[in-house]
Homo-oligomer: A and B are copies of this chain.
Amino acid sequence: MKKRPVTSQQVAELAGVSQSAVSRCFSPKASIAPKTKAKVLAAAKQLGYRPNAIARSLITRSSRTIAVVMSQLDNPFYAQMLEYASRRFQQHGYHLLLFMSSDEQETTSVMSDILQSQADGILMLAATLSSSLAKECVARGIPVVMINRTVAFEGVSQVASDNYHGGYWVGCHLVESGCERIAFLAGLADSSTSSQRRQGFLDALAEHGAACWAEAIGDYDFATAQAATRALFSRDVYPDAVFAANDHMAIAVIDTLKAELGLQVPQDVAVVGFDNIPVAAWPSYQLTTVQQPIEAMVDEATALLLGQIASGQVTGERKVLPVTPIVRASAVSGT
Seen from chain A, the residues whose Cβ lies within 8 Å of a Cβ on chain B are: 1-5, 48, 50-55, 57-58, 61, 63, 65, 68, 72-74, 76, 79-80, 82-83, 86-87, 90, 95-100, 110, 112-113, 115-118, 136, 139-141, 222, 251, 254-256, 258-260, 278-279, 282-285, 312-313
Contact = CB atoms under 8 A, between A and B. Distances in A.
Contacts of A79: 73-74, 76, 79
Nearest to A118: B54
A312 B74 contact: no
Contact of A312 (B1, B55, B110): B1
Copies of this chain held together in the complex: 2
Contact of A139 (B3, B76, B87, B283): B3
Given A3-B139, A57-B54, A283-B258, A98 B96 contact: yes
A202 to B, nearest CB: 30
A117 B95 contact: yes
A118 B99 CA distance: 19
B284 A258 contact: yes
A313 B313 CA distance: 45
Given A53-B117, A259-B284, 4 more contacts: A2-B312, A74-B80, A96-B97, A284-B285
Contact of A86 (B51, B99, B136): B99
B54 A58 contact: yes
Q: Which of A54, A55, A99 has the most CB of B within 10 A?
A: A54
Contacts of A4: 61
Contacts of A2: 61, 140-141, 312
Nearest to A1: B312
Contacts of A52: 58, 116, 118
Contact of A100 (B5, B68, B87, B259): B87
A73 B63 contact: no
B255 A5 contact: no
Nearest to A115: B50
Contacts of A115: 50
A118 to B, nearest CB: 5
B112 A98 contact: no
A51 B116 CA distance: 6
Contacts of A113: 90, 95
A61 B82 CA distance: 29
B50 A54 contact: no
Contacts of A58: 52, 54-55, 58
Contact of A283 (B54, B76, B255): B255
Contacts of A258: 283-284
Contacts of A136: 48
Given A79-B79, A97-B95, A141 B1 contact: yes
A255 B100 CA distance: 33
B283 A256 contact: yes
24 contacts: A1-B312, A2-B61, A48-B136, A52-B118, A53-B118, A54-B118, A55-B58, A58-B58, A65-B97, A72-B83, A73-B80, A73-B82, A73-B83, A74-B79, A74-B83, A74-B278, A76-B79, A90-B110, A95-B113, A96-B97, A97-B98, A258-B284, A260-B283, A284-B285
